[in-house]
Amino acid sequence: MEYTISKLAKLANVSARTLRYYDEINLLKPTRISSAGYRIYGQQEVDRLQQILFFRELDVDLETITSIMNDPNFDKSKALQSHLRELIQKRSRLDKLIGVVEKTIAHEKGELVMSNNEKFEAFKDKLIEDNEKQYGEEIRQKYGEEAVEKSNNKFKNMSKEDYEAFTKLGEEILELLPTAFETGDPASPIAQALAAKHKQWLIYTWPSYSEEAHVGLAEMYVSDERFKAYYDKATKGGTEFLRDAIVIFTQKN
């Protein structure tokens, strides 16, 4: 069965403009162009559009989708299995969020008492989910399934006070990094204070701390562009500087 651009747009509940843009960026090409100049799409393109919309539903950007789906090693079956896992996780998170809202309403009415930990549980799950999506594979390869699960559980069980302190420390690290970087010396007192704060920040979620693991994580910050972008947004070159400060810090302690 074949579809014109307007019929496919109606079928998939997207705009014809969207389909034309997908064609322009080499994400979804029509099967052929008719003699009258119309884009014609076949079953293969219909299935490909479904995959694209799965990715979009999971908030994957178009550049990444194009890169993934144009890879000659792209495996449709594996992608569908991955979509299913992520959608189940998303449903679970939404169910928890709905539960928290319902409890909060009941708490406000005086129908039940809600602990502070319960108030923030769903938001912690969202942070864990986002972290898994971005860095889960690399972290699990480096530290193993058991260590990552223990870390996630420690984060989930964090008290409101610890969660606030953990968040504040993360902000302080980004604020202090440019000032420390300006010294040009990762061994300077302010750079070492920065590394100490980073250790404190890790201890909130790590099941156990070691200098070797701390340095290993800092090295991954430098080698992985996603981590590098996070710290370099505070100051360009800041990721390497933080790594060097951590290396010196762990050697001294």
pLDDT in tens, the chain (253 residues): 899 999 999 999 999 999 999 999 999 999 999 999 999 999 999 999 999 999 898 888 899 899 989 998 888 888 888 888 878 877 877 777 777 777 778 878 888 777 666 666 666 666 666 666 665 666 667 667 777 778 777 877 777 788 889 989 999 999 999 999 999 999 999 999 999 999 999 999 888 899 999 999 999 899 888 788 889 999 999 999 999 999 999 998 7
Contact 99, 106 (CB under 8 A): no
β-pairing, 3-4 vs 39-41, is: antiparallel
CATH T-level assignment (fold) for domain 159-252: Globin-like (1.10.490)
Helix (H, G, I), strand (E, B) or coil at 32: strand
Q: For residue 202, which of 130, 250, 133 has the smallest C-alpha distance?
A: 250
pLDDT, one tens digit per residue, over 86-131 is 788 778 777 777 777 777 788 788 887 776 666 666 666 666 666 6
Quote the pLDDT of residue 78.
85
Determine whether 207 is exposed, middle or buried from the number of CB atoms within 10 Å of its CB (0-12, 13-18, 19+): middle
Residue 161 CA to residue 23 CA, distance in Å, equals 51
Quote the pLDDT of residue 203.
93
pLDDT, one tens digit per residue, over 243-253 is 999 999 999 87
CB hemisphere CA count around 161 (13 angstroms): 0
Quote the pLDDT of residue 135.
58
Number of H helices, E strands in the chain: 12, 3
CATH code linked to domain 3-69: 1.10.1660.10
Quote the pLDDT of residue 109.
84
Domain boundaries, the chain: 3-69, 76-155, 159-252
On whether the pTM is more than 0.85, the answer is: no
Tell me the Cα Rg of the chain. 24
